[in-house]
Amino acid sequence: MNLETLAIQVTRFHDANASAVTTPIYLSTTYERDAEGNLPHGFLYTRGNNPNRDLLEKSLAALEGGTVGLAFGSGMAAISALFQALKPGDHVITTPFAYYAAQRLLVDVFEPWGLEFSLVDTSNLEEVEKAVRPTTKLFWLETPSNPLLYLTDLQALSQLAHSVGALCAVDNTWATPVLQNPIAFGADVVMHSTTKYFGGHSDVLGGALVLAQDGELAVRLRQIQNLTGGVPSPFDCWLITRGIQTMPLRVKAQSASALPIAQWLETHPAVERVHYPGLTSHPQHEIAKAQMKNGFGGMLSFEVRGGLPGAKKVAGALKVFTQATSLGGVESLIEPRKIYEGPDSPTPDGLLRVSVGLEHLDDLIADLDQALKNA
Ligand SMILES: *Cc1c(COP(=O)(O)O)cnc(C)c1O
């Protein structure tokens, strides 16, 4: 089945009560037992599960080609659940070029709790091999990475992880299942901040884990999800499920605009560097072609002269782009990224991160043109 069709089919709720075409929102926190004390639909208490979350979780698994989907109250809650499934003394391999808060989570929360980790450039297989320890249990990858759009070879890294007895988990937020399915390349776990392209309208916070296999890890993560309680509300699940229905169209359109914007920026004299996996100048363009499909994503970043003040000046002069953090909504956003990351982050001072929205391409380029002229 084609993705557009799948996205509509898996999110359809079959309402036995009123034959509603769109999904009702089940706000009830608790579910009635029958005379024998059984739960007729399997729902007990909303932290454990509810019809809206169930529908979302099944949709997540279907879209990623996985077996089990788990929804969380935020992307960070999803990452935390995965780290909590490890034990003190276990070792995680990750990259300094991934989402900054994921690194902070390791440093500020999980290291004091006993987890060990190494920051390695995961685009370099040899470096990763060298970082492996007998206690390595998880490769935590992100590709394309936020905000420099470095790529990691999913097949090579999954193979390496499995050869040392570790799990391979991938933050697939930027690519979405529309452009990349890490499980197809051997990953065991896929994570999403559903706040971004899944929700798609900058109005709901959510996170997800999708597992390739059912089994021990799935049981453990369900337990963590329920016991630590970082779950989304039924309304949040409803919004994210609705977002899924248009995600294939949105992401394809955003990718189709991002490529010509990246190409245009690359020729602009005020722009020093453009980071976009769809550019033939991207050092890992071949990997992008091998593991991404339907386009290279709606996210790009570029560097201007003059460091952070230079980047701030450009962001401030834009009129169609909104200067704000986050990504994946219908509106184009831009931010001088260094503001949001600590002094230890490898992000260049003059870097502007762009989330391409659904406005007309010509208007976006014209806006960038006037802002860069005045910069
Ligand atoms: C936003 C984001 C996260 C964190 O998700 P929240 O929903 O904000 O908790 C994780 N990874 C990436 C790549 C993100 O862009």
286-333 pLDDT tens trace? 999 999 999 999 999 999 999 999 999 999 999 999 999 999 999 999
CB neighbour list of residue 190: distance below 8 Å, 6 or more residues apart: 64, 66, 169, 170, 172, 177, 181, 182, 183, 208, 209, 210
Rounded CA separation 114/34 (Å)? 45
Rounded CA separation 9/198 (Å)? 16
Kindly tell me the sign of the dihedral angle through the C-alpha atoms of 69, 71, 76, 78.
negative
Ligand 1 centre to CA of 100 (Å) is: 9
Statement: the pTM of the whole predicted model exceeds 0.85: yes
Same domain, 200 and 285: no
The CATH number that applies at residue 239 is 3.40.640.10
Same domain, 7 and 150: yes
Same domain, 106 and 8: yes
Ligand 1 centre to CA of 193 (Å) is: 5
Same domain, 51 and 186: yes
Q: Which two tokens stand for residue 101?
A: 């808060």
Burial bucket for residue 126 (CB in 10 Å: 0-12, 13-18, 19+): exposed
The range of the structural domain enclosing residue 340 comes to: 249-374
Same domain, 19 and 126: yes
103-118 pLDDT tens trace? 999 999 999 999 999 9
Taking a C-beta distance cutoff of 8 angstroms, is the pair 23, 55 a contact?
yes
- Which residue's CA lies nearest to atom 1 of ligand 1? 193
Ligand 1 centre to CA of 173 (Å) is: 7
Pocket test for ligand 1, best of 145, 180, 196 (most atoms within 8 A of CB): 196
343-369 pLDDT tens trace? 888 899 999 999 999 999 999 999 999
Residue 123: DSSP 8-state: T
Last residue of a domain, one of 221, 243, 265: 243
Same domain, 236 and 286: no
Active site residues: 47, 99, 171, 196
171-198 pLDDT tens trace? 999 999 999 999 999 999 999 999 999 9
Same domain, 217 and 276: no
- Which residue's CA lies nearest to atom 15 of ligand 1? 173
Same domain, 268 and 314: yes
Q: In this predicted structure, what is the pLDDT of residue 276?
A: 98
Same domain, 109 and 188: yes
Last residue of a domain, one of 197, 222, 243: 243
Last residue of a domain, one of 213, 243, 273: 243
Same domain, 181 and 56: yes
The ligand 1 site (C-beta within 6 Å) comprises 74-76, 99, 142, 146, 171, 173-174, 193, 195-196, 205, 207
